Structure 1
Amino acid sequence: MAILKIARMGHPVLMQKCRPVADPGAPDIRRLVADMMQTMEDAPGVGLAAPQVYQPLRLFVFRVPPGRETQDPDDIPLPNSVLINPEVELLGDERALGWEGCLSIPDLRAAVPRATRIRYRGSDCDGNVIERQVTGFHARIVQHEYDHLDGILYPMRMTDFRHFGFTSELDRAGADR
């Protein structure tokens, strides 16, 4: 396995709609997924989409660390996972602001509105169908990574730029309160 180089904001691969993965079990896809998981862990991050490692393919890896979930039974911790050719359905009209960052936009964070409840479906490298209904942090991660597959970066989802800044400054401002 290898640590992959992460594309930075402004690179064309981050701004394009990705193509479907023809064969989720192909050796090159399995290798890409393993390398992406190692890269995500090394970063450390909670998600990484294929275009972030210069691969315009519809897949991403993610995890929901324990302690990030809410009291909702649909917001569950999840070990390293992959979603290949995912589909995401927003459930209901409820939206919530939550702080997000991105490995492709280092050192910045923003409050981004996202659906609080989603259903997603995709497959893993063995062709097993993965389908879940989730909420909270789990739902936010999936929406963020899914956006990457359509060339959307989190600042494009923002509605209030007063909640956008350098992580170090936002941390200092929070400590001053």
Structure 2
Amino acid sequence: MRRGTIPGSSGRVRPMRLLGDPGLGAPCEEVTDFGAELSALIEDMFATMYAASGVGLAANQIGVPLRVFVYDCPDDEDRRHLGHLVNPRLVAAEGITVRGPEGCLSVPGIEAATPRFDEAVVEGFTADGAPARVRGTGFFARCLQHECDHLEGGLYLDHVTGLRRRRALRAVRRAPWATAGPSGA
């Protein structure tokens, strides 16, 4: 991404994969080529995330099984965090556990109270291959954990239990976008 450009402004919006798509349930592969193709993917991911009014997007949500995510997410103090991570690893998730509303662009229109740690640290690389470390608190920590889950083949619904889970899955079955129901959810 060139300096001074708006992320996603040169990208194209790609179709979103929805719950039930097998690509969402499989761990993603490491990125080995840090070239122009990766930069174009990141641009497309930003364009897709913004078109869907999201705060984060993992590559497998648009059908690319690579360890990449983008974000444009506020924290609890309304500070904006904007960026991307390649080959990210959640290296710390700590602090208090907060159960808060969480949704997903691959499960549109359905939220569930999901427990997440209030602090998270993710390490990875930029599109240029430079090491990167991102620390988040509050809502941004939730976003970081959510996107890392995607890259491991997980969804926020995997963290929801009991009555909250049953309600969320019932909403999925009734959702207009649901075709075959929540496989693996």
Q: Could you say which TM-score interval applies, normalised by the shorter chain?
A: 0.7 to 0.9
- Residue in 1 that maps onto 2:76: 70
SS at match of 2:94: coil
Tell me how far 1:89 sits from its aligned partner. Answer: 2.3
Stretches of structure 2 that go unaligned for 5 or more consecutive residues are 1-10, 172-185
User: Structure 2 residue aligned with 1:88, among 90, 104, 125?
Assistant: 90
2:67 to 58, 61, 64: 58
> How much is the aligned-residue C-alpha RMSD, in angstroms?
1.9
* Contiguous gaps of at least 5 residues in structure 1: 167-177
Which residue identity does 2:158 align to in structure 1? M
Look up the equivalent residue of 1:118 and give its one-letter code.
A
Q: Specify whether residues 133 and 100 from structure 1 end up closer, same or farther in structure 2 by C-alpha distance, changes over 3 A only.
A: same
- Equivalent residues in 2 for 1:1-150, closer than 5 Å: 1-24=11-34, 26-65=35-74, 69-71=75-77, 76-79=79-82, 81-92=83-94, 94-150=96-152
For residues 121-170 of structure 1, the C-alpha deviation after alignment (integer angstroms, 9 at most, x for no partner) is: 1111112221133210111001001100011011111134337545xxxx
- SS of alignment partner, residue 113 of structure 2: strand
Q: What's the counterpart of residue 162 of structure 1? A: 164
Whole-Å separation in 1 of the counterparts to 2:81 and 2:155: 23
Give the TM-score normalised by the residue count of structure 1.
0.83
> Which runs of structure 1 show a deviation greater than 6 angstroms over 4 or more consecutive aligned residues?
none
| Superposition deviation, residue 93 in structure 1 | 5.4
Q: Any idea what SS the aligned residue of 2:72 has?
A: strand
